[in-house]
Amino acid sequence: MTVTEEKPRIETPVEDHRVGAGAFRPRQLLTSVPDALRKLNPRHQLRNPVMFVVWVGSVLTTVYAIGEPSVFSIGIALWLWFTVVFANLAEAVAEGRGKAQAESLRRTKKETVARRVTASGGEEPVPGVELKVGDLVIVEAGELIPGDGDVVEGIATVDESAITGESAPVIRESGGDRSAVTGGTTVLSDRIIVKITTKPGESFVDRMIALVEGASRQKTPNEIALTILLSTLTIIFLLAVVALQPMARYSGSEQSVIVLTALLVCLIPTTIGALLSAIGIAGMDRLVQRNVLATSGRAVEAAGDVSTLLLDKTGTITFGNRKATELIPVGQSTMDEMVEAARLSSLADGTPEGRSIIELTGPASAEPGGEFVPFTAQTRMSGINIGDREIRKGATGAVRDWVREHGGDFPDQTERAADEIGQQGGTPLVVAELVRGRAFVRGVIRLSDVVKPGMRERFAELRKMGIRTVMITGDNPLTAKAIAADAGVDDYLAEAKPEDKMALIHKEQEGGRLVAMTGDGTNDAPALAASDVGVAMNTGTSAAKEAGNMVDLDSNPTKLIEIVEIGKQLLITRGALTTFSVANDLAKYFAILPAMFVAIYPQLSVLNIMQLHSPRSAILSAVIFNALVIVALIPLALRGVRYKPSSASALLRRNLLIYGVGGIVAPFLGIWLVDLLVRLIPGM
């Protein structure tokens, strides 16, 4: 009896509306100006050593411009202030998008009155803010869930659109991996009892608000390292500029404080110093746009450095709902006997596999009574006892032991059928029956699982990025090998238990590799905590969400691949703009240094490649360009450099070619164009 499996419907992916919300719009620059001006507070500027030096230079040149006003001194002072404001603007725009998202989340927070279960079993109304960890609350259809927790009794449909943006209701029930509920969501049907797991003010929504606003954002290790590098370069250039004045005085061409300040600002890496914070905030924001909550920027960076990806087979690589597609009788059993045994053994099996067996065999006119035998991890079988008949269904090895224990034979045909199904990527279930004290094998059920379309191409892209993919499954090695080959993963771990996952993670990390994985159950919590990037599903248990450092609100395990790409994009964007900034500074030397000393050393005029109008116009033009280039790069910092899967060496060559060469060429063209306008100003 064979049934052709219906091909899974492939829907065309639709661009999520939240992704569009993250696109940069010029209007954001105007609306963020007040926040940028508020950030001129020196205590805020102290957090960024490079821009603090520019801030001090702005104050210094302003004092000199007031004492000795001229078009040149006032122009330098104004554009240095613009440089600081534009740097603040980049951060303000990035934070502004997070504040808009936080505001929409705040609107979902409503003060509720909870129905708390009393010690006597009754209920009492209490304000939601007074709930404590461990309290049990009753929530019925139409009521808001008063706090984060786990369903401990009942099953209900829940509207989580306020949190996830997804309008379709979800099922939440006790006793499984889909028991976690979020405060502020609405129960649509039935009645559940929820055990509160968080304190007031520390709920999931509260943490989301703090994270997207940037209130709890701390610098990541890479940001700290880059900040130290930029601070070191700033100190070196500061010492160089300070040492320049005695040399200039000795040569008879003493420079003013305004000129020296302008030189310092143009030579230090102001571009990347101004955009560094915005790049980090934008990386977190891109995750939020895809409905992923990262508990820290460190997790986003780690995603970019991941070299091993652990992926569950079921629901991630495959659709997950295995269906019975074929019944194979063996030995002396007939097809009718096989059909009856398979159906009876699945009557109490509420899993998708069990239901599919009932669909395949068809319901009987009258179901017999009997004692149902549930599946356990120890027996790896389930079934039913009807009078003197015992029917079992389960893994090949478990049923083989059971049959032989009861004096029966296990035909070679059974082993061959099971091996063939496994080699073809299916899962075999063996059905056996005990009649009058003797066991017989009735046949083998083929369960088919389908690899999601496009997975092979996605894994090929990851391979180009230097990332090794490992499929984790509880299937037997033969089935795991077949599906791994079909999906195109690099390796697989079959018959995996929680301790096996932990061992694999530690083994990978011993080689200096960073590991990422997804999970949703309490048994996944240790592995999520041990991995460098642990992505917990929002539908999962509270333990899983606490253990991971990211939570996927859409509960889509394949999103781990997108998270890695976002992390890569963050690192590449930071590297590209650092390359551009350093290259930029090299080009500015040709604008300012010849202008400062050409009066004493006419030979320096050969370095005036841009043929700038005068020393003053050259210096002012360089300062103006230095400020404007920050504004020009804000969209790129927020959007991120376009990422294409390739090797590290290829990415380095691309960065050097585009942003290194571009960083050298852009100032020559930009300063020359600005000089054409500046020379029109009287006194230049």
376 annotated ligand-binding residue: yes
CA distances from 507 to 75, 397, 510, 519, 598 (A): 61, 29, 5, 19, 63
Residues with catalytic roles = 312
Q: How far apart are CA 122 and CA 119, in angstroms?
A: 7
Report yes or no: 189 and 172 within 8 Å, Cβ to Cβ: no
DSSP 145: P
User: Would you say 502 is a known binding-site residue?
Assistant: no
190 is in an annotated binding site: no
Distance from C-alpha of 514 to C-alpha of 529, rounded to nearest angstrom? 13
**Does the annotation flag 524 for ligand binding?**
yes
Beta bridge partners of 311: 471
Task: State how far the Cα of 221 lies from the Cα of 198, in Å rounded to an integer.
Answer: 29
Tell me if 413 is assigned to a ligand binding site. no
569 is in an annotated binding site: no
| Residue among 682, 584, 573 at smallest CA distance from 636 | 573
Residue 160: C-alpha distances to residues 167, 176, 519 (Å): 7, 18, 20
Is the distance from CB of 150 to CB of 197 less than 8 angstroms? yes
DSSP states of 96-136 as a string? HHHHHHHHHHHHH----EEEEEPTTS-EEEEEGGG--TT-E
Rounded to the nearest 5°, which phi and psi values hold at 576? -65, -45
227 annotated as a binding-site residue:
no
Q: In sequence order, what DSSP letters do the residues of 433-469 get, joined into one string? A: EEETTEEEEEEEEEEE--BPTTHHHHHHHHHHTT-EE
- 349 labelled ligand-binding: yes
Collapsing DSSP to helix, strand or coil, 158 comes out as strand
Residue 382 annotated as lining a ligand binding site: yes
Is there a binding annotation on residue 379?
A: yes
Residue 21's φ and ψ, nearest 5 degrees, are: -65, -20
> Is 278 known as a binding-site position?
no
For residue 263, give the nearest of 591, 18, 550 by alpha carbon: 591
Bin 363: left if φ > 0, else alpha if -120 < ψ < 50, else beta.
Answer: beta
Residues comprising the binding site? 349, 353, 375-382, 393, 520, 524
Residues comprising the binding site for ATP? 349, 353, 375-382, 393
Residues comprising the binding site for Mg(2+)? 520, 524
